[in-house]
Structure 1
């Protein structure tokens, strides 16, 4: 399958899925869900949907609810994409941990400031205070 078409289809599914989850408040009451990424299989048979859920404490609970209602969500997605796709991929939901991972890296860097990196405008790169020694 053409990678450009796959990426375009993934973005289309991401947009429609976001709108669907926003409109369906009975599944997501009191929770903000963002569809951060959709990764499609090359044959468009399956889609991995990465979700960012706020508050974080409700993430696993909401994920279980969405996984239990995957067939209904896929059906609703099929209705909204009927004119653009013949077959709707099988949906798999995952929690997107990238923000949490980035936060942990920032905490580790702040906790152990062994290097002082500053931006060097002339070379358009990063220099370390250790380079001067």
Structure 2
């Protein structure tokens, strides 16, 4: 469980990274909207895991690899923004947030179950 300090720091990182991606994200991923869905920070605040979601792209694995290849540059830009608030700028690792993919998958399963129930005749009606 994250401490209040970790949660506050993660919130600051999420805000600042969102601003960086909003203003300069087109340099890394043109025509792609990047959303920072969650940031997890280690107890010593030295490592941050950043979870991203992408819109307007079919190649999420390439997108996450591209962002990870620019992690040092993004960390530098983040450091310039938060240098007066922290002692050490954390190292950044980016991951794909697949929550939306999971939700879509579950929706398809529930739709399939719903259609199957509608197609089956009620067994109670036949016994009467």
Give TM-score, length-normalised by structure 1. Answer: 0.80
What is the total number of aligned residue pairs between the two structures?
A: 114
For 1:125, the equivalent position in structure 2 comes to: none
Larger radius of gyration: 2
Pick the structure with more helix per residue. Answer: 2
Gaps of at least 5 residues in structure 1 are 116-133
Q: TM-score with structure 2 length normalisation?
A: 0.83
Which structure has the higher relative contact order (CA within 8 Å, separation 6+)?
A: 2
| Structure-1 residue corresponding to 2:20 | 20
Give the gaps of 5 or more residues in structure 2.
Answer: 118-128
Whether contact under 8 Å (1:49, 1:91) holds in the other structure is yes
Task: Encode CA deviations 1:72-131: one digit per residue, 9 max, x unaligned.
Answer: 11011000001111101110101110011011111111111378xxxxxxxxxxxxxxxx
Contact 2:40–2:48 (Cα < 8 Å) also in 1: yes
Instruction: Judging by fraction of residues, say which structure has more strand.
Output: 1
CA RMSD of aligned residues (A): 1.5
Structure 1 stretches (4+) deviating beyond 6 angstroms?
none
